[in-house]
Amino acid sequence: MPSLVLDNSVAMRWCFKDGNETDLSYAENVLDSVAADYTFLVPNLWHLEAANVLVRAQKREWLTIEQMHEFLDLVGQLPLSVDNQTAKQAMSATILLASEHNVSAYDAAYLELAVRYQIPLATLDVDLRKAANKINVPIFGIADNG
C-alpha cells in the first residue's frame, strides 16, 4: 500500500477549513487519497503538534469543542502510521536537514521521514516545500516540484 508523509499544515486545513482555495483544494486531495488506498506516515511528534494547535485555537475561540471533536473523529478514522524512529533521527539526519535547509527541527522531521522512506511529502508549508525541492523529495500531488 503506498504511503505519504502527512504534514500538519495539511491536516489543519481539514479542521479549520481556512486558507486560500488552492490550499483547501490540495488538502482535500490529500484526504481523498485515503480512498485511493494511501496510508499516512507521520513522525511521532505529529499528534502533539496537532493537539497544541487545537488547544491554542480553542483557547482563542477560533475553534469550538464540537469542531475539535469532529476533527479528532476524522483523525481517528485515518490510516495513520506513526514512525517510531523520529527521536532517534533527531540528533543526526533531522538536525542536519534543519540546519542545511533553514527549517525548524519539527519541519525537518517530516522531511527526514520522506527521505528515509523515499515517499512523497504532503505539505502546504512553503519553506518545507522549498527544502524538499532542493533534495528532490516529491511533493504529493505536484507533478513537478520545480
Number of domains the chain is built from: 1
How much is the pTM?
Answer: 0.91
Q: Say if residues 30 and 123 touch (Cβ distance below 8 Å).
A: no
Q: What is the pLDDT of residue 146?
A: 46
User: pLDDT at residue 45 above 90?
Assistant: yes
- Report yes or no on 81 lying in a domain: yes
The range of the structural domain enclosing residue 104 comes to 3-134
Q: What is the pLDDT of residues 74-85, one digit of tens each?
A: 999 999 999 999
Q: What is the CATH number of the domain that holds 120?
A: 3.40.50.1010
Mean pLDDT across 104-127? 96
CB atoms closer than 10 angstroms to residue 126: 9
- CA proximity to 114, closest of 10, 2, 5, 3: 5
Tell me, what's the pLDDT at 1?
Answer: 64
Q: CA 87 to CA 83: how far, in whole Å?
A: 9
Tell me the average pLDDT across 15-22. Answer: 93
Question: Considering the chain, what percentage of its residues have pLDDT values greater than 90?
Answer: 89
Which pLDDT band, with edges at 50, 70 and 90, does 144 fall under? low
| Percent of the chain predicted with pLDDT > 70 | 97
The mean of the pLDDT values for the chain is: 93
Q: Is residue 21 part of a domain?
A: yes
Cα atoms in the 13 Å half-sphere on the side-chain side of 42: 21
